[in-house]
Amino acid sequence: MGALTKFWESSVGKKIVMGATGVILVGFVIGHMAGNLQFFMGADRYNAYAKLLKHDIIEITWIVRLTLFVSVILHVMAAYQLTMRNRAARPDDYAMRASQSSTYASMTMRWGGVYLVAFIIYHLGHFTTGTFHPAFSETGTWGNVVIGFKSIPVAGFYLGAMAFLAMHLYHGVWACMRTLGLARPSENPLHRRAALVIAIVVATGFSLLPLSVALGIVR
Ligand code: HEM
């Protein structure tokens, strides 16, 4: 067995893969959220930013896309296999599930993760390819966002995704700090707080877009 296979087969190896890909994905969502806030600087600014990503630095964009794609696949595979391994270690379910915080966290991570994967697929078809968009324009990203969020169910679906993203980030960032050795194995309130701040800032920043359109503030 090669060293790489051995690493992947171990639980620690899978956790490190989850943590490392998690860092890449968190970096992307922070950057994407910050870029999206240019929505409030007007259509020209926002469209110019979208054009920069889609046309002017297209080679870099493709490297980022590929990195994100591989990261999501590895992140989900490691999560799935760790879940299956944990289940196999305890074939009989508990007679009564205790409502511990750890159970709560892993439930939201699993189901929140499923919601987020569905969200990403919808989101790419919505704003990137335009497949699920009612009036998609290749050059008018600002208009795509405004028209997209005029639909209340769509805005609601995005806000739901941001709530799950916040929970996912809160638990994930903290778990990742422990796995990658930035925090001691014991509770570290400072790292909990750092994870909370990242979760709230990212989810709130994104949510401002669907909220502002759905409430008629931006039209
Ligand atoms: C309210 C929240 C969000 C809004 C308004 C938003 C907006 C957008 C828009 C307008 C585009 C297309 C840009 C273009 O014209 O090329 C885009 C692309 C994308 N978004 Fe989001 N986004 C949101 C949340 C997210 C989240 C949470 C993720 C990941 C978990 C994400 C991942 C992506 C990806 C991977 C792309 C494709 C980038 C590319 O073309 O390579 N977005 N987003």
Q: How much is the pLDDT for 102? A: 60
pLDDT in tens, 140-151: 999 999 999 999
Expressed in angstroms and rounded, the spacing between residue 97 Cα and the centre of ligand 1 is 37
Query: Any alpha helices (H) in the chain, and if so which ranges?
Result: 3-9, 11-36, 43-51, 58-89, 101-123, 141-150, 152-179, 189-214
Q: How much is the pLDDT for 88? A: 79
- Mean pLDDT of the region 70-87: 89
Q: How far apart are CA 39 and CA 32, in angstroms?
A: 12
Query: Best substitution site from 21, 25, 36, 131 to test ligand 1's pocket, by max atoms within 8 Å of Cβ?
Result: 36
Between 154 and 96, the more confident residue is: 154
Q: Is the pLDDT of residue 122 over 60?
A: yes
Q: What percent of the chain has pLDDT over 90?
A: 68
Q: How much is the pLDDT for 178? A: 78
Q: How far apart are CA 122 and CA 143, in angstroms?
A: 18
Q: Is the pLDDT of residue 71 over 70?
A: yes
Expressed in angstroms and rounded, the spacing between residue 127 Cα and the centre of ligand 1 is 7
Q: How much is the pLDDT for 177? A: 82
Q: Residue 49 is encoded by which pair of tokens?
A: 């930013």
Expressed in angstroms and rounded, the spacing between residue 22 Cα and the centre of ligand 1 is 17
Expressed in angstroms and rounded, the spacing between residue 187 Cα and the centre of ligand 1 is 34
Expressed in angstroms and rounded, the spacing between residue 142 Cα and the centre of ligand 1 is 12
Among candidates 103, 101, 111, which has minimal Cα distance to 79? Answer: 111
Q: How far apart are CA 174 and CA 180, in angstroms?
A: 10
Q: Residue of the nearest CA to atom 5 in ligand 1?
A: 209
Q: How far apart are CA 47 and CA 62, in angstroms?
A: 19
Q: Which ligand 1 atom is the nearest neighbour of the CA of 158? A: 1
Max intra-chain CA distance, the chain: 59
Q: Is the pLDDT of residue 77 over 70?
A: yes
- Residue 149: exposure state from Cβ atoms within 10 A (0-12, 13-18, ≥19): buried
With 0.85 as the threshold, say if the pTM is over it: yes
Q: Which long-range contacts (CB under 8 A, 24 or more apart) does 193-202 make?
A: 195/169, 195/170, 195/171, 196/170, 198/26, 198/30, 198/169, 198/170, 198/173, 199/165, 199/166, 199/167, 199/169, 199/170, 199/173, 200/166, 201/33, 202/29, 202/30, 202/33, 202/165, 202/166, 202/169
Q: Is the pLDDT of residue 83 over 90?
A: no
Q: How much is the pLDDT for 98? A: 52
Q: How much is the pLDDT for 90? A: 67
Q: How far apart are CA 216 and CA 134, in angstroms?
A: 19
Q: How far apart are CA 198 and CA 27, in angstroms?
A: 11
Residues with CB under 6 A from ligand 1: 29, 32, 36, 50, 53-54, 61, 65, 68, 120, 123-124, 127-128, 141, 145, 158, 165, 206, 209-210
- Mean pLDDT of the region 62-80: 95
Q: Residue of the nearest CA to atom 9 in ligand 1?
A: 127
- Mean pLDDT of the region 27-53: 96
Q: Is the pLDDT of residue 41 over 60?
A: yes
pLDDT in tens, 155-204: 999 999 999 999 999 988 888 887 776 666 556 677 788 899 999 999 99
pLDDT in tens, 89-109: 765 655 555 555 566 777 788
Q: Residue of the nearest CA to atom 36 in ligand 1?
A: 124
Q: How confident is the model at residue 126 (pLDDT cuts 50, 70, 90)?
A: very high
For 14, 145, 170, 187, the CA distances from 46, given in Å and listed in that order, are 38, 10, 29, 41
